[in-house]
Amino acid sequence: MALRAALRSKCGLTGRLSQLSSCSNHGRVCVAQRRNNSTSPKIKVDFDQSTGVAVMRMQSPPVNSLSLDFLTELCINLEKLEMDKSCRGLIITSSQPKVFSAGLDIMEMYGKSPERCGEFWKAVQEMWLKLYSSNMITIAAINGSSPAGGCLMSLTCDYRIMADNPRYSIGLNETQLGIVAPFWFKDTMVNTVGHRTTEMALELGLLYSSSEALKIGLVDQLVPEDQVLTTATQTMTKWLAIPDHARQITKSMMRKPTIDKLTSNREADIQNFVSFITKDSIQKSLRMYLEMLKKRKS
Ligand code: CO8
């Protein structure tokens, strides 16, 4: 109850919180969220208490797009793991074939009221804040394409392992949709690959193949697709050998200035987003992009 109350006030997700259910399975604790309207959980967490490592699988067909419901579940799961001191590491991966996450759900930004857009953006901020400031060791096991918000989610992690498949792409492609990556998306990328590479990548909305992503340092390692999760688990063992307090203080020292920039400007950032995204010209760009996605399919 306390967790839900905290999330209600923190995420502003009143009325959207799902029912929390948990089950035990051979020493692992499986945590699933069910929404009040009882649709399937979009996130599945398996926590192995013997290793202190949780694996979070995104399982929202078709492409794990980050809708408000999805983000709500994600935030609740992250909060729960963060509060469990026995959980030291988190691996994030996808259950969907070929896609890690398609980024923000474009339908959440198209034809919605300013109030709804504001609620959505607050949840996006919350996801970033929770992941980027996590005390846990976080590893992204990127087993498919990861554009825009999907790339951002990976960038918040301490380490990124991607499937070595030229068909998969990753990057902050916002300008291709006629929208602009906000400053904290930009800062997260700058902190990872540097200023010049980010400048080009963001202006052109570049999506990189997995090998290009490795070359610029957007991901740390490429492995065959069927080894992404096992490699993430092996890598986690290496990170777990470092004393938590020393690693956590170091992580905070590196990331705090970037985090503070958003926490001290959250409301203004929400207002910026709402006034930008509800402009007729931006709505038109989003409609054209959605049509392009459909056409590409047919
Ligand atoms: N949101 C909503 N629906 C989506 C999204 C999305 N991000 N991505 C794909 N879909 C839909 C498709 O339209 C399609 O719908 P339908 O089945 O009804 O036709 C369905 O998901 C399946 O898509 P595909 O057939 O394209 O699936 P593929 O497996 O062939 O490809 C990809 C998967 C590579 C992920 C591909 O779908 C793709 O490129 N999607 C677009 C990704 C994208 O550009 N995302 C950007 C989102 S914006 C963002 O995250 C940051 C915004 C910051 C805002 C700042 C404003 C100020």
How far, in Å, from the CA of 294 to the mean position of ligand 1? Answer: 10
Q: What is the signed CA dihedral for 40, 53, 124, 195, rounded to 10 degrees?
A: -140
Chain centroid to CA 87: how far? 19
Low-confidence ranges of the chain (pLDDT < 50): 1-38
pLDDT value for 282: 97
Alpha helices for the chain (secondary structure H):
2-11, 68-83, 114-132, 149-155, 183-193, 195-204, 210-216, 228-240, 244-263, 266-277, 280-297
Residue identifier of the C-alpha nearest atom 53 of ligand 1: 181
- Overall pTM surpassing 0.85 (yes/no): yes
pLDDT value for 25: 39
Cβ of 98 below 6 Å from ligand 1: yes
Taking Cα atoms as reference points, which of 202, 59, 34, 66 lies closest to residue 131? 66
Active site members: 104, 149, 173-174
| Structure tokens given for 282 | 């931006």
How far, in Å, from the CA of 242 to the mean position of ligand 1? Answer: 38
| Structure tokens given for 42 | 């979009």
Rg, C-alpha atoms of the chain = 18
Cα distances from 87 to residues 20, 124, 163, in angstroms, run: 18, 24, 26
pLDDT value for 39: 73
Q: What angle do CA 234, 237, 241 make, to 5 degrees?
A: 155
Q: Which of 63, 167, 173 to mutate to test the pocket of ligand 1 (most atoms within 8 A of CB)?
A: 63
Neighbouring residues of 275: CB distance < 8 A, sequence distance ≥ 6: none
Q: Which residues pair with 57 in a beta bridge?
A: 44, 93
Residue identifier of the C-alpha nearest atom 30 of ligand 1: 297
Taking Cα atoms as reference points, which of 39, 114, 108 lies closest to residue 73? 39
The minimum-distance atom of ligand 1 relative to the CA of 173 is 44
Q: Which of 291, 293, 296 to mutate to test the pocket of ligand 1 (most atoms within 8 A of CB)?
A: 293
Task: Give the integer Cα–Cα distance in Å for 62 and 25.
Answer: 27
Residue 196 DSSP symbol:
H
Cβ of 89 below 6 Å from ligand 1: no
Cα distances from 22 to residues 32, 36, 43, 87, in angstroms, run: 6, 16, 13, 16
Cβ of 158 below 6 Å from ligand 1: no
Query: What are residue 181's phi and psi, to 5 degrees?
Result: -65, 125
pLDDT value for 10: 39
pLDDT value for 297: 73
Q: Are 24 and 42 in contact (CB under 8 A)?
A: no
Cβ of 63 below 6 Å from ligand 1: yes
pLDDT value for 32: 39
Q: Are 165 and 157 in contact (CB under 8 A)?
A: no
Task: Give the integer Cα–Cα distance in Å for 76 and 174.
Answer: 27
Cβ of 183 below 6 Å from ligand 1: no
The minimum-distance atom of ligand 1 relative to the CA of 107 is 2
Task: Give the integer Cα–Cα distance in Å for 273 and 25.
Answer: 43
Q: What angle do CA 150, 153, 157 make, to 5 degrees?
A: 140
How far, in Å, from the CA of 102 to the mean position of ligand 1? Answer: 5
